[in-house]
Amino acid sequence: FSLTEAVAKAEVQQEPSLETTEGTGINISCSHPKIQPDWILWYRQLPGRGPELLALTAKESKEVPAIAGRLWVSADRRSSALWL
């Protein structure tokens, strides 16, 4: 999973990898202090496949039914997290 922004030189920070066991929830957080565009987009890329858009939002936290998860966005929009 990774977060991207419309600005090519956006700076984001995430854990390089996270692991969990099946049936156990995981929280993937991302810091994006210099966010410029209106949208926050989360993608996943499975081995051997292209990126797949999972969720997008401008400001609000929201459910992500496609992956039975939830996208959380901080009030200042400088960080977000995807709970699976």
Backbone angles phi, psi at 66, to 5 degrees: -60, -25
Q: In the chain, pLDDT over 70 holds for what percent of residues? A: 85
Inform me whether the pLDDT recorded for 38 exceeds 70. Answer: yes
Burial of 3 (0-12, 13-18, 19+ CB in 10 A): buried
58 contact partners, CB below 8 Å, separation of at least 6 = 38, 39, 40
Q: What is the CATH number that goes with domain 24-83?
A: 2.60.40.10
**pTM of structure:** 0.73
11 against 57, higher pLDDT: 57
Distance from chain centroid for Cα 64: 11
Domain range list for the chain: 24-83
